[in-house]
Amino acid sequence: MRLILLGGPGAGKGTQAKILTEKEGIPQISTGDMLRSAIKAQTEMGLAAKKFMDAGQLVPDEVVIGLIRDRLGEDDAKGGFILDGFPRTTAQADALGELLEKLEMPLDAAVSIEVDDEELVSRLTGRLTCANCGAMYHKVNNPPKLAGVCDKCGSNELIVRDDDKEETIRKRLATYHDQTSPLIDYYDGKGLLKRISGIGTIDEIQQRLREAVGA
Ligand code: AP5
Ligand code: MG
Ligand code: ZN
């Protein structure tokens, strides 16, 4: 299965991709996670990207296209993948199309997870991320079983992402509406678009996602 997950910041792309990855045994490829790893490793690229991310803006296309080109060339992507947070501009979508054509790995679907803006803001202002394994929680909607401790790996470093301040969240939303939401029509035009509501429990949305892609 070769999928793209589209959706605004906080729509649940990461949450759903992680579940699908475990069930289907195909990698989640998140440009946001890759950029955050580069920041953690303090690479030159990471430090340059951080300025855009903290401002709620997109990192330049050539940077993320380069990351994806390398990542899709790795062996584990041969059996399928879930792209989470890429593509985010028409230029990225065009570059992905060319790359997948060369690799002879056509997309199966682009799923748009649809959630209204106010719900997105409330999800992101409550999000906690495990600094060790990347697992995601929500202070109210999806708390860890034991307060402050990751269910998955036991780490007690549950942090608020640097870009999850309300002001930055609003900027990320504006960036999404401006630059990324046109991809909904883009993939509709290619006959690949599936729309699902992203409101409901995490399990319900996973069920909708599986039905939408015939998994
Ligand atoms: P990225 O990391 O991709 O962030 P994003 O798109 O803003 O999305 P999020 O990761 O915030 O949300 P999500 O949809 O994964 O939701 P989640 O599952 O966590 O990108 C960050 C930045 O990197 C960008 O701003 C940009 O600067 C840069 N970047 C990345 N890719 C790029 C690209 N291709 N081009 C250029 N720049 C790029 O869920 C959110 C919260 O809600 C969690 O707390 C979760 O527990 C909770 N939740 C999940 N599902 C539900 C539910 N059903 N009900 C209630 N709560 C729920
Ligand atoms: Mg995410
Ligand atoms: Zn963890």
9 CB within 6 A, ligand 1 = yes
pLDDT of 48: 96
pLDDT of 141: 87
Digit-coded pLDDT (tens) for 115-139: 999 999 999 999 999 999 989 999 9
**Exposed e or buried b for every residue in 75-106, given b needs 16+ CB within 10 A?**
eebeeebbbbbbbbbeebbebbeeeeeeeeee
> pTM here?
0.94
Q: Is 198 exposed, middle or buried (0-12, 13-18, 19+ CB in 10 A)?
A: buried
Pocket-testing residue among 138, 150, 204, 207, ligand 1, by greatest number of atoms within 8 A of Cβ: 138
Residue 81: pLDDT above 90?
A: yes
Average pLDDT over residues 11-34: 95
Topology at the third CATH level for domain 2-27+74-117+179-213:
Rossmann fold (3.40.50)
Give strand pairing partners of 159: 129
pLDDT of 79: 94
pLDDT of 215: 82
Digit-coded pLDDT (tens) for 141-198: 899 999 999 999 999 999 999 899 999 999 999 999 999 999 999 999 999 999 999 9
Average pLDDT over residues 16-35: 96
123 CB within 6 A, ligand 1 = yes
Ligand 1 atom closest to 199 (CA):
53
> Of 62, 71, 89, nearest to 26 (Cα)?
71
**Exposed e or buried b for every residue in 33-57, given b needs 16+ CB within 10 A?**
bbbbebbeeeeebbeebbebbeebe
137 CB within 6 A, ligand 1 = yes
